[in-house]
Amino acid sequence: MTGPASDVPQGQHSAVTPGTARRNASPRRVRPRIAVVSLSQGTRPDDLRRGLDSVLAQQDVELDVVCVGNGWAPTGLPEGVRALALPENVGIPAGRNAGAEVVDGDHVFFLDDDASIPSPTFLRDAVALLDGDPSLGLVQPRVVDPSGSANPRRWVPRIRKGDATDSSPVFSVWEGAVLLPMDVYRAVGGWGAPYFYAHEGIELAWRVWDAGRRAWYAGDLVAHHPAIDPARHAEYIRLNARNRVFLARRNLPAPLRPLYVGSWAAIQVARWWRHPVRLRTWFAGVGEGWTADCGPTRPMGWLTIARMTLAGRPPVV
């Protein structure tokens, strides 16, 4: 016999070619496909660029990135980022939903235009967390002010704040950097558009729980965001109150709605009893919440309420 096989000693197998060796080795790892939605009103171009660059620097993932211009047409975006211009400001949750409709991926990541993700493996690590625990349906990272300013306690979305580096199930989320499996995002109906601003992260977490999953605060994952008072928005107090009522009307069984709103009314009175102007604005918002159109309702099941209660947060506080 002539040719390469004749050089192989009898009783031995021929060497495997390099290409065959690669094929017979462990299968090639499939990189996660992640849809990314960055929402902006165009007022923070440097912050927006920083956030988008941090997304584009992510390793071991495939990205489909869109920048949603909420009332403006995004320009000057880095290569690899598409623009979606909305003719008017439709609000934060509706703007995020609009972006999610034009991107594709197995997971969807929402990043505000004043936030960024410092680790180049952030998305890979967050997806691995979700893939490693099928009970999880949403991940919010720990939020850190990169300037070194004190991090607001509200960024840890649990009653007992504890150490910010500790992970735990949660029942609300800081909305500036959130990752969900795309099928979970679709199942919960996306973000609640009627809120416009404030408390849409509570509803998103509640609906993840109602979908049979858990919302998770990951203390070992980090997003950057400046420590800014949310009350800087002129309508914050009114929308805060109105949306508390919207939250109850949209998501709770009828018997629990007054309990939820009442508990928050008591909290606000305890906080602001020395600020009557704030309280008048807040209670005006509560009245608006009971009379205004809150959009479609989808009360959670009593089994979900039991799961949330056993996990530490009944949805009445």
**Residue 2 placed within a domain:** no
Residues 6+ away with beta carbon under 8 Å from 166:
219
- Give ∠ CA 57-228-266 in degrees, rounded to 5: 125
Looking at the structure, do residues 145 and 258 belong to the same domain, yes or no?
A: no
User: Residue 232's pLDDT is what?
Assistant: 52
Number of domains in the chain: 2
Residues 131 and 239 sit within 8 Å (Cβ to Cβ): no
**Residue 6 placed within a domain:** no
Looking at the structure, do residues 168 and 216 belong to the same domain, yes or no?
A: yes
Q: DSSP assignment, residue 308?
A: H
Q: Cα–Cα distances in Å, from 167 out to 60, 136, 161?
A: 24, 13, 11
Residue tagged 């109602």 (tokens): 210
User: Residue 159's pLDDT is what?
Assistant: 87
Q: DSSP assignment, residue 72?
A: S
Name the amino acid, one letter, at 67: C
**Residue 84 placed within a domain:** yes
**Residue 8 placed within a domain:** no
Q: DSSP assignment, residue 267?
A: H
Looking at the structure, do residues 194 and 238 belong to the same domain, yes or no?
A: no
Looking at the structure, do residues 276 and 198 belong to the same domain, yes or no?
A: no
The last residue of a domain, from among 228, 256, 288: 228
Assign 47 to helix, strand or coil.
helix
Residues 169 and 214 sit within 8 Å (Cβ to Cβ): yes
Report the Cα 36 to chain-centroid distance in Å. 11
Looking at the structure, do residues 116 and 57 belong to the same domain, yes or no?
A: yes
Looking at the structure, do residues 104 and 198 belong to the same domain, yes or no?
A: yes
Report the Cα 228 to chain-centroid distance in Å. 19
The last residue of a domain, from among 210, 228, 246: 228
Q: Which helix (H) or strand (E) holds 126?
A: helix 122-132
Looking at the structure, do residues 204 and 264 belong to the same domain, yes or no?
A: no
Assign 229 to helix, strand or coil.
coil
Half-sphere exposure of 232 (CA within 13 A, CB side): 4
Name the amino acid, one letter, at 190: G
Looking at the structure, do residues 93 and 220 belong to the same domain, yes or no?
A: yes
pLDDT tens string 133-158: 999 999 999 999 998 888 988 899 99
The last residue of a domain, from among 194, 228, 262: 228
Distance from C-alpha of 64 to C-alpha of 33, rounded to nearest angstrom:
8
Looking at the structure, do residues 203 and 251 belong to the same domain, yes or no?
A: no
Split the chain (317 residues) into runs of 10 and give each run's mean pLDDT. Answer: 38 36 50 97 96 98 98 96 97 98 98 97 98 97 92 90 95 96 98 95 98 98 87 76 97 97 94 91 95 97 96 89
Looking at the structure, do residues 218 and 172 belong to the same domain, yes or no?
A: yes
Among residues 72, 226, 215, which one has the least CA distance to residue 149? 226
Residue tagged 């017979």 (tokens): 24
Residues 6+ away with beta carbon under 8 Å from 176:
111, 112, 114, 115, 143, 223, 225
**Residue 108 placed within a domain:** yes
Name the amino acid, one letter, at 276: P
User: Domain span at residue 60?
Assistant: 33-228
**Residue 291 placed within a domain:** yes
Looking at the structure, do residues 83 and 210 belong to the same domain, yes or no?
A: yes
Residues 113 and 81 sit within 8 Å (Cβ to Cβ): no
CATH of the domain at 187: 3.90.550.10
User: Residue 236's pLDDT is what?
Assistant: 86
Looking at the structure, do residues 176 and 58 belong to the same domain, yes or no?
A: yes
